[in-house]
Amino acid sequence: AMENKGLNIFNTKYVLADSRTATDADFAAVESVIAHEYFHNWTGNRVTCRDWFQLSLKEGLTVFRDQEFSADRISHATCRIENVAMLRALQFPEDAGPTAHPVRPASYEEMNNFYTMTVYEKGAEVVRMYHTLLGEAGFQKGMKLYFERHDGQAVTCDDFRAAMADANGINLDRFALWYSQAGTPVLDVKGRLNGSGGYELTVKQTVPPTPDMAEKQPMTMPLKVALFDAENGRQIAFRRPGSSEEITETVLLLTEAEQTFTLENVRQNAVPSLLRGFSAPVHLNYPYTDAELAVLLAADTDPFARWEAGQTLYRRAIAANETALAQGLPLPEHQGLLEAVEYVLAADDVDAEFQAMLLAVPAEAELWAERSDIDPLQVHRAREALLDLIARRFQAQFLALNQKAAHAEQQADPAIRYEYSPETAGWRTLRNTCRAFVLRADPEHIDTVAEKYAEMAQNMTHEWGILSAINHNESGKRNELLEQFAEKFRDDALVMDKYFALIASSRRTDTPAQVQAALNHPAFSLENPNKARSLLGAFSRNVPHFHAESGAGYAFIADKVMEIDHFNPQVASRLVQAFNLCNKLEPHRKSLMQAQLQRIQAQSGLSKDVAEIVGKILA
């Protein structure tokens, strides 16, 4: 697992980029990956892993370091939210599924299967918790001692924990559970004024059972909190017991299954801001009213907590839609949510990228993360109905905001106007968000888009945003624009990956046929991992087509898993994880998915990589 001197880059897409062929997100990814590999010269080379089980020692730590680098380069607020969104969409389902494993795995059949979101992204969250508990100065003291003790050595996650503890004179023995227990902890929190000048927070912690371990111990973790006045949204100062210092934010240390914390000198009706900065990788439940969430959305000084208030409102609205659809009732009007969206659209105290994030609705994979007996299409329809409502209600505002963002982008220096920079990238992100809502509200707007395409598509971020916005449109114009795009970039392999991803992620009725045709496209090769991921990976995340009631989507991906397994078991084992949801599905789809897994398992000469994943799901 040693990261020898140099930069080990495993994908050409993360080396070179230019604005004609790479999006702003691609540029940010190049910076992040190059930074990650560069940082490995210290965390992975100067100090490396004693054995494969310690893989997160270098990967979790180095992901944390590259995240902090990107945050310094771009924005701490938006980068943190992006990290959390990815963790929830990809790692939380892994932690709740049949392949769940601790940050430091206890065993493995095929080591390639442990280059996972848990080892990397959850591992980074564990490192971030050290930082939150110890502060920047304490964390740097720990890093300094870690290098002094272990430079030139191969060591363990325990050695890193010991360096952090010894450098700061603190006992972190119980923190070791983050390395040995799989699963995402759940915090159930209640808050109240106690009648004697204090505000009490009671926190119950549970760690759900996972296939490798049924009974879990309570974890040690930081819970960062603040309080806001329920009437005017002002942040409330308070004191910790035994202290005379007035503070507006504190970190509570959770160590037990249930604890009560008191914040003193609080007498007004307060709304707690919890898990600020996403201070621990957990599910958090608090009985907020919609009015309390509106206070946090408008007034919270922590960007993550502000964004999370909006996300909670979206999740509630989608759940209400789902209930109405299941019962055959009219969809709710969601007046409170619409008022919140109207506020976000008019907000002038946020930057463009953050405004776009506040308008983003949670993905299906996050919505069903903690559930069982899932009907994916019902969740999808409920989410689509909410997006349709927002698009129709605020069509004029989205048009106006798009024009505002376009004007702001035009104010940039002409020499770099369409080149990557965090400021101009934020305006383009907001424009693409608005475009998607405008095209959703008025599908016929595609005619105007087609007419002005060349004028609008000034760089790849614009092109990608436009094509993504029209990608689900049933009009023939959509096909014309995509084919025009493919012809323009037919000699650029990485841009063609974007074309194949668009084909496979479309909700159009003819998408399965278009995906089959793409398999025979001159620019497509199943033996190229980027191509396989762009087409097949995107299709496996396409909810209405992958989860089609006939089971055709499951059969198609199973066929490709078996085909790819003959020449690239690692890519096949990643693709087969699309079936991780199997045992949480409603009975009909569960049966269909199980049948495909059994068909894969019966394949002659199946690799260890795929066999391990399939075996765990079926078990």
Catalytic residues: 37
Helix/strand/coil percent split, the chain, to 5: 60, 10, 30
Distance CA 259, CA 278 (A): 19
CA 94, 126, 52, 117 torsion: positive or negative? positive
* Chain centroid to CA 511: 25
Full DSSP string of 229-289 = ETTT-PBPPBB-TT----BS-EEEEE-SSEEEEEEES--S-EEEEESTT--SS-EEE----
- Residue 411, phi then psi, degrees to nearest 5: -75, -10
Work out the angle at residue 85's Cα, subtended by the Cα atoms of residues 17 and 133, and round it to the nearest 5 degrees.
105
| Amino acid occupying residue 236 | I
Q: Can you give the C-alpha Rg of the chain in angstroms?
A: 25
Distance CA 339, CA 300 (A): 17
Task: Cite the DSSP H helix spans in 416-551.
Answer: 422-441, 446-451, 453-456, 460-470, 476-488, 493-505, 511-518, 529-532, 538-540, 543-546
Neighbour-count burial of 479, counting CB atoms closer than 10 A to its CB (0-12 exposed, 13-18 middle, 19+ buried): middle
Q: How far is CA 211 from each of CA 183, 523, 573, 617, rounded to the nearest angstrom?
A: 10, 42, 19, 10
Q: Please, which residues bridge with residue 264 across strands?
A: 198, 239
Which string of b and e fits 248-268 if b means at least 16 CB within 10 Å? Answer: ebbebebeeeebebbbbebee
Distance CA 253, CA 220 (A): 7
Neighbour-count burial of 81, counting CB atoms closer than 10 A to its CB (0-12 exposed, 13-18 middle, 19+ buried): buried
